[in-house]
Amino acid sequence: MQTVTTLTTEPLAPRERAAAWRQWMHEHFGGLQSDLYGAGESTDHADRTDSAGFRGSLCACHAGGVILTRLRADRHRVLRSRALARQSEQPYLKIVAPALGVAEVEQAGRTAQVGAGAWAIYDTTAPYAVSNPLACEHLVVMVPKERIAASGLRLDALMARQVGGAAGISRVALESMRHTFRELPHMSDAAAHGAGEMLLQLVQLSLLELQGVESAPSQRALLLDRIRQAIGAHLRDPGFTPERLAQLLNCSRRHLYNAFSGSGETPAERIQRQRLEGCMRDLRAPQLAGRSITEIALSWGFGNLSHFSRAFRAHTGLSPSEYREHRGSPGQARP
């Protein structure tokens, strides 16, 4: 029988959960920084808004050299900085396969957003970020990088890509990862090792298939890349709307919304979320402590400050001033 490691915030007091979750994520995944979108940042505030605080659990087991973890959590974001990536003791490729919610993987200038029925892969030896804007349940699978690289794959070109899972070998790989995780607690060491070897082969085959497809990407994949570039280039423009985005891409509004199907967000929600995340970064940046909250909001395209404050609280659970204070930015925030 395989050993199963389980960690959950449920027995902890609300004020203890955020710190415990960050520590677990850092230790279990070999060095990660966690952003809980404001959850648990202030005991008093957490008690006012949610008596249960942040909720999260990890359940992990090994299949030979492959590590499988079921992660259930409220919305959160993880970041692996360049410094943390350098400290990695063993190089892994990491797979995220959502069952509930969505995961947005960023690495090497690419972004892959995946929902149920798909998976994405990324490299733990390089910086990356994974955003989970909704409460989620993910299967996270870590495979030894050298085993996958030995197949001759051009790994750099395949990281932060949606692998799929709806059909073909990538679906076989996805279902096999899920079944293996469920059955591992009942397997002998030899059986678990064999299951891990099978998963390595299926991941290799899926990436070989993806590598062949990469030379002729689908129109939808091209459109998604153009959408990401256009949003990034115009995010600070207060007049930038989904309608303006469709005009820039020379596509219909319906075609634009179809490109977002399965992502869990509309174009307007994506634009607002990225603007809010830009404001969050600026509010916790020590070098911007002298800038007022109003200046920061306006610089990220928010023209209506009342709307900004409501949207910020809905996204983080805190007001902009509370967020700045609890993030420890030096100096006094100026409203």
Q: Show pLDDT as tens, one digit a residue, over the chain (335 residues).
A: 789 999 999 999 999 999 999 999 999 998 899 998 766 554 444 343 344 589 999 999 999 999 999 999 999 999 998 887 766 668 999 999 999 999 999 999 899 999 998 999 999 999 999 999 999 999 999 999 999 987 778 898 899 988 876 678 899 999 999 999 999 999 999 999 999 999 999 999 999 888 876 544 455 666 777 788 889 889 999 999 999 999 888 788 888 888 888 778 899 999 999 999 999 999 999 999 999 999 999 999 999 999 999 999 999 999 999 999 886 444 333 33
Residues 238 and 111 grouped into a single domain:
no
Shared domain check, 300 and 190: no
Dihedral angle sign, alpha carbons of residues 34, 35, 39, 40:
positive
Q: Cα–Cα distance between 93 and 102 in angstroms, integer?
A: 19
Q: Is 3 exposed, middle or buried (0-12, 13-18, 19+ CB in 10 A)?
A: exposed
335 inside domain:
no
pTM of the model: 0.67
Say whether both 31 and 85 belong to one domain: yes
Both 63 and 208 in a single domain? yes
Residue 332 in domain: no
Q: Which two tokens stand for residue 88?
A: 């990695």
Alpha-helix residue ranges (DSSP H) falling in 134-262: 145-149, 168-183, 189-213, 219-234, 242-249, 253-259
- Tally the domains of the chain: 2
Owning domain of residue 149: 5-213
What CATH number is associated with residue 182? 2.60.120.10
What DSSP state is assigned to residue 186?
G
Same domain for 118 and 253, yes or no, is no
